[in-house]
A and B are shown apart, each in its own frame.
Chain A
Amino acid sequence: MSTTISTKFSRRSFLRTSSLASGGMLIGFNFFTACKDNVKMPVDIAKLNYNDFNAFIKISDEGMVTIFSPNPEIGQGVKTSMPMIIAEELDVPWENVNVVQGILDTQNYTRQVAGGSQSIRFGWDALRQTGATARQLLVNAAAARWGVDASECSAKQGVITNGKGETLGYGDVVKEAALLQIPESESSESEESKSENPEFKDTKAEEIAGNVILKDPKDYTIIGTDVGNVDIDEIITGKPLFGLDYKVEGMVYASVLRPPAFGQVLESYDDANAKAIAGVIDVIKIGEKAKAMLEKEEVNWTAKLAPTEKVVVIAENSWAAIKGKKALKAKWTESSPMENTKAHDKILIDLLDGKDFTNLRKDGDVKKAFKQADKVLERTYESPFLPHNTMEPMNFFADVTDSKILLVGPVQTPADAAATVAEMLGRDEKDIRLEMTRMGGGFGRRLYGDFVYEAAEISDKIRRPVKMFSTREDDMMTGVYRPAIKYRIAASIKDGEVTGYHLKEASVNDNMYGLIPNFFPAGAIENYQVDVAKYNSNISTGAWRAPYTNFLSYAEQSFLDELAEVLEKDPVQMRMDLLEKAKGTTDDRIQYSADRLQDVLKLVVDKSGYRTPKDGVYQGVCAYYCHNTHVAEVADVVMEGDQPVVKKITVAVDCGIVINPLGAKNQIEGGAIDGVGHAMYGDFAFENGMPTSNNYDKYRLIRMNETPIVETHFVKNTLSPTGLGEPTLPPAGAAVAIALKKATGNRLYKQPFVSNMNSKPILG
């Protein structure tokens, strides 16, 4: 059976080829947009014009394939998994594939953002079609040389074979292939993709796009196999890969003194002692340009950290810069009030108690359901701020000259960063070149480009190549935090059934957004309402791995567990029943698939041994959908003396086709442990506008001796793949809280658990 794939672009429009002057064939392609009619493909490999293309594939005369990977690597493995998809359809041995990080020239560089676990989901169709189209071009070239019809030829593992059994390697025909017309799509160009939810699209059938045939998943030889990290040799031997490792001749180091408290601005500073330190070159002031830009354009969400002047120590080396900064004496004044966690706690509870909400979803009549209820359960859940704590602190290289600007480093939003620098410095975007390095973790922090602007402003001022780097203390104290949030959830029960569900959110600065109000259990309960309220703080907040769901999942799933207890129902069965009801929904806002959520729940129950209780092992179960992936987890807790210990997390995942199981499992394990760690230990508070912790001696991250073993099970299907960077984190805290309740008898209403083991429910 075959179906015709219908997408926004035809093969003709999203792909171009050229013959390289140095030999070999170059294919340039675009992810989402058609190539402009007049774009020229480079014939010099050193001049890849990312203005017009997202990525390039080079096939050499020897048949070696180099893929210039379009997405920055933050540790989520896309630098390995995305090229795997191209190589699969191109049909070359993985050993012949080399992957190089693409460079950004800023314009038209779509979706070059690592965030939201979306890289694979968005890339799936485009990457497959690019690989398949390139394969077809090579087959067509070989067929032409043999004087046979292309349909008589097949390609496998980099070799084309004709009906007589004659063979040609890909490298043998690249010259001719580069000159051929690109196979056109037979489907109408105007036809839009039919599936609203790409992750629900079955790829079981062989898909034909014009003359280009996509492989049937059962014929995959690379997708679905364990492929190691493409940078593994460099990582284990300590090669320069990261932003902090980047260095050029004549580069100086810059350490930025930012306000110690949120709400402060620079009044004056004394740099005499700093300048006396050996290796310190100069002390300068920056911030005017970033500030001016902020004032001009109020809503620049990436520049939240910039509204003050800052003092910068320029030094010959990092150590002198660090010492120089310590020796600075600065005076700060309050531009807005110094905030603290105690006050936030009260403000957020007051918001929950109040009436000033924005409604995000309303089904039926919650008020009426509550009025008619036999019983109402209401609980409040609380979370602290959280810093990202990427292991590699924020840093960026900038070299600003009169003719050009070079920016190099780890940032998740390169296009936005480059555009903002251009605007800030009043320069032409065309003169900016931004190179991305491997990132020592992201978790959302590197979506914000404040450190890029700082580096650029410093180099603009001193006109030298400079590396701006933060210390751990800088990073933790002047961050963009996961906001403190409180949820109040209430459910009405009538005749042993859940009739109403009301979720209220009170958050610092920003509320849940987009599709989140439509996640489970929306669609499963007749009367359902989500309301949000926020408090505007001067503390910078933003995305943190699995935004909102990282805490919402714990609140909702803990609540459902307690609800099952009140209903005297089995918690798994109660979820199954709710999901059964959701199946009937005709609401197209509903994002999750009830079937898929049931499947992961069944799988995790089966694999974790949940139905066969073991002495001294307390298990908590939950199922959650977020970031397009369905996940269920069971946490095993045992008591060691008085101490509950999280021993194991069993994870069931439905992420569609698993591109690279080895990499996928790494993400799943890391996400689950990260979820456990932050739910257990992550605590971050403010006093007088200042964070109360500034380094790892005061801020607790999970360590190996506290780490549960994660066991992963995939739901096997042939649905389009979805991402894994985030989805296993949110359910972990919930599973642990539910298991801890069984082990200790106490419900946990506040994170981190380690400080709130005996917390009492806040009754509404």
Chain B
Amino acid sequence: MECNLHNIRTQHIKKMPTYNLKINGSSQSIEAAEDTPLLWALRDQLDMVGTKYGCGIGQCGSCTVHIDGNAVRSCQLQISQLDGKEITTIEGLSEDGSHPVQKAWKEIDVPQCGYCQAGQIMTASAFLEKNPNPSKEEIRIAMQGNICRCSSYNRIEIAVEKAAEKKMA
């Protein structure tokens, strides 16, 4: 038979290395090729699918996570480079959507299709940690790396302002 997958699989036993990553405060063991981007390890190996694939070249921001508090593109980071780093994903931003940025997103009802929004929220939350009281212009520049194809940009802008207010309160 052309596609006896189990046979083919046994012919190609290639042992994958194991990596221990600290994700959302807990240690996770991942068995994957060393060049696996964090994005795909999160999605496929750990079933954490909140982090989205959008372009794979760091241009759209859908896959944004925090590494030691900085917003980075998880499609551009290999799991072999992340030893000892604190990784936070949308699933770990809060347990129940109670982070001020998430609350602001809900209050303003930002999403349309919703696909890019986890990345937008991760960029916004890291940005507000560094600049808790930003101007409109600073928000527009900070968020310009994240594409929203539905163009919910006006609401993202308002929601970031709202989240800043919530954090200050």
Residues of A whose CB lies within 8 Å of any CB of B are 73-77, 226, 228-229, 231-233, 235-242, 244-245, 247, 252-253, 275-276, 278-282, 284, 314, 317-320, 322-323, 389-393, 438-443, 461-464, 471-473, 662-663, 666-667, 669-674, 677, 695-697, 701-707, 709-710
Q: Which residues of A contact B47 (CB under 8 A)?
A: 247
Query: Known pairs A228-B106, A245-B43. 8 more at Cβ < 8 A?
Result: A226-B109, A236-B121, A237-B90, A238-B90, A282-B5, A317-B45, A319-B35, A670-B151
Q: Which residues of B contact A237 (CB under 8 A)?
A: 50, 90-91, 93-94, 96-97, 102
CA distance A703 to B3 in the complex (A): 45
Q: Would you call B56 an interface residue if the criterion is a C-beta within 8 Å of the partner chain's C-beta atoms?
A: yes
Q: Which of B3, B111, B148 contacts A235 (CB 8 A)?
A: B111
> Contacts A438-B113, A462-B3, A696-B60: A391 and B16 contacting too (C-beta < 8 A)?
no
Question: Are B109 and A666 neighbours in the complex by a CB distance under 8 Å?
Answer: yes
CA distance A440 to B115 in the complex (A): 5
Q: Would you call B135 an interface residue if the criterion is a C-beta within 8 Å of the partner chain's C-beta atoms?
A: no
| Smallest CB separation, A643 vs chain B (Å) | 15
Q: Number of contacts between A and B (CB, 8 Å)? A: 219
Q: Which residues of B contact A391 (CB under 8 A)?
A: 52, 54, 60, 62, 113, 115-116, 147-150
Question: Are B153 and A707 neighbours in the complex by a CB distance under 8 Å?
Answer: yes
Q: Which residues of A contact B23 (CB under 8 A)?
A: none
Q: Which of B5, B60, B97 contacts A281 (CB 8 A)?
A: B5
Question: Are A319 and B36 neighbours in the complex by a CB distance under 8 Å?
Answer: yes
| Smallest CB separation, A400 vs chain B (Å) | 12
Q: Which residues of A contact B140 (CB under 8 A)?
A: 704-705, 707
Question: Are A284 and B2 neighbours in the complex by a CB distance under 8 Å?
Answer: yes
Q: Which residues of B contact A231 (CB under 8 A)?
A: 111, 114
> Contacts A75-B113, A77-B112, A318-B40: A278 and B106 contacting too (C-beta < 8 A)?
no
Question: Are A695 and B5 neighbours in the complex by a CB distance under 8 Å?
Answer: no
Question: Are A229 and B109 neighbours in the complex by a CB distance under 8 Å?
Answer: yes
Q: Which residues of B contact A318 (CB under 8 A)?
A: 40, 43-44, 53
Question: Are B59 and A440 neighbours in the complex by a CB distance under 8 Å?
Answer: no
CA distance A666 to B148 in the complex (A): 13
Question: Are B50 and A239 neighbours in the complex by a CB distance under 8 Å?
Answer: yes
| Smallest CB separation, B36 vs chain A (Å) | 5
Question: Are B106 and A390 neighbours in the complex by a CB distance under 8 Å?
Answer: no
Q: Which residues of A contact B151 (CB under 8 A)?
A: 669-674, 677, 702, 707
Q: Which residues of A contact B116 (CB under 8 A)?
A: 391, 440
Q: Which residues of B contact A663 (CB under 8 A)?
A: 109
Residue of A nearest to B33 (CB): A278
Q: Which residues of B contact A281 (CB under 8 A)?
A: 5, 8-9, 12
Q: Which residues of A contact B77 (CB under 8 A)?
A: none
Question: Are A236 and B117 neighbours in the complex by a CB distance under 8 Å?
Answer: yes
Q: Would you call B144 an interface residue if the criterion is a C-beta within 8 Å of the partner chain's C-beta atoms?
A: yes
Q: Which residues of A contact B97 (CB under 8 A)?
A: 233, 236-237
CA distance A247 to B117 in the complex (A): 21
Residues of B whose CB lies within 8 Å of any CB of A are 2-3, 5, 8-9, 12, 14, 16, 32-33, 35-37, 40-41, 43-45, 47-57, 59-60, 62, 89-91, 93-94, 96-97, 102, 105-106, 109, 111-118, 121, 139-141, 143-157
Question: Which 6 pairs between the two chains have the least Cβ-Cβ distance?
Answer: A238-B50, A75-B113, A440-B115, A238-B90, A673-B151, A696-B59
Question: Are B102 and A472 neighbours in the complex by a CB distance under 8 Å?
Answer: no
Q: Which residues of A contact B102 (CB under 8 A)?
A: 236-237
Q: Which residues of A contact B2 (CB under 8 A)?
A: 284, 461
Residue of A nearest to B141 (CB): A705
Q: Which residues of B contact A276 (CB under 8 A)?
A: 12
| Smallest CB separation, B168 vs chain A (Å) | 20
Q: Which residues of A contact B3 (CB under 8 A)?
A: 282, 284, 461-463
* 8 intermolecular pairs with C-beta atoms under 8 Å apart: A236-B121, A240-B49, A318-B40, A319-B32, A464-B5, A666-B112, A696-B60, A703-B145
CA distance A704 to B59 in the complex (A): 14
Question: Are A392 and B121 neighbours in the complex by a CB distance under 8 Å?
Answer: no
Question: Are A75 and B51 neighbours in the complex by a CB distance under 8 Å?
Answer: no
| Smallest CB separation, A709 vs chain B (Å) | 6
Q: Which of B45, B57, B90, B153 contacts A704 (CB 8 A)?
A: B153
CA distance A473 to B111 in the complex (A): 25
Question: Are B53 and A393 neighbours in the complex by a CB distance under 8 Å?
Answer: yes
CA distance A697 to B114 in the complex (A): 22
Question: Are B53 and A244 neighbours in the complex by a CB distance under 8 Å?
Answer: yes
Q: Which residues of A contact B59 (CB under 8 A)?
A: 695-697
Question: Are A666 and B54 neighbours in the complex by a CB distance under 8 Å?
Answer: no
Q: Which residues of B contact A253 (CB under 8 A)?
A: 44
Q: Which residues of B contact A279 (CB under 8 A)?
A: 14, 16, 33
Question: Are B114 and A438 neighbours in the complex by a CB distance under 8 Å?
Answer: yes
Q: Which residues of B contact A677 (CB under 8 A)?
A: 151
Residue of A nearest to B11 (CB): A275
Q: Which of A233, A669, A705 contacts B144 (CB 8 A)?
A: A705
CA distance A709 to B161 in the complex (A): 15
Question: Are B57 and A245 neighbours in the complex by a CB distance under 8 Å?
Answer: no
> Contacts A229-B111, A472-B55, A707-B151: A278 and B16 contacting too (C-beta < 8 A)?
yes
| Smallest CB separation, A344 vs chain B (Å) | 25
Q: Which residues of B contact A706 (CB under 8 A)?
A: 144
CA distance A314 to B3 in the complex (A): 10
Question: Are A314 and B144 neighbours in the complex by a CB distance under 8 Å?
Answer: no
Q: Which of B5, B141, B152, B154 contacts A462 (CB 8 A)?
A: B5
Question: Are A441 and B149 neighbours in the complex by a CB distance under 8 Å?
Answer: yes
Question: Are B12 and A392 neighbours in the complex by a CB distance under 8 Å?
Answer: no
CA distance A332 to B26 in the complex (A): 49
CA distance A280 to B156 in the complex (A): 40
**Most chain-B CB neighbours within 10 Å: which of A461, A464, A672, A696?**
A696
Q: Which residues of B contact A704 (CB under 8 A)?
A: 139-140, 143-144, 146, 148, 153, 156-157
CA distance A674 to B48 in the complex (A): 30
Residue of A nearest to B154 (CB): A669
Q: Which residues of A contact B139 (CB under 8 A)?
A: 704
Question: Are A666 and B155 neighbours in the complex by a CB distance under 8 Å?
Answer: yes
Q: Which residues of B contact A669 (CB under 8 A)?
A: 151-152, 154-155
> Contacts A77-B112, A278-B33, A667-B112: A695 and B55 contacting too (C-beta < 8 A)?
yes
**Most chain-B CB neighbours within 10 Å: which of A253, A663, A705?**
A705
Q: Which residues of B contact A471 (CB under 8 A)?
A: 56
| Smallest CB separation, A249 vs chain B (Å) | 11
CA distance A709 to B137 in the complex (A): 13
CA distance A669 to B32 in the complex (A): 43
CA distance A503 to B125 in the complex (A): 51
Q: Which residues of B contact A252 (CB under 8 A)?
A: 5
> Contacts A318-B43, A391-B149, A695-B57: A236 and B105 contacting too (C-beta < 8 A)?
yes
Residue of A nearest to B40 (CB): A319
Q: Which residues of A contact B89 (CB under 8 A)?
A: 238
Question: Are A703 and B113 neighbours in the complex by a CB distance under 8 Å?
Answer: no
| Smallest CB separation, B86 vs chain A (Å) | 18
Q: Which of A74, A238, A674, A702 contacts B49 (CB 8 A)?
A: A238
CA distance A666 to B108 in the complex (A): 10
Q: Which residues of A contact B90 (CB under 8 A)?
A: 236-238
Q: Which residues of A contact B115 (CB under 8 A)?
A: 242, 390-392, 440-441
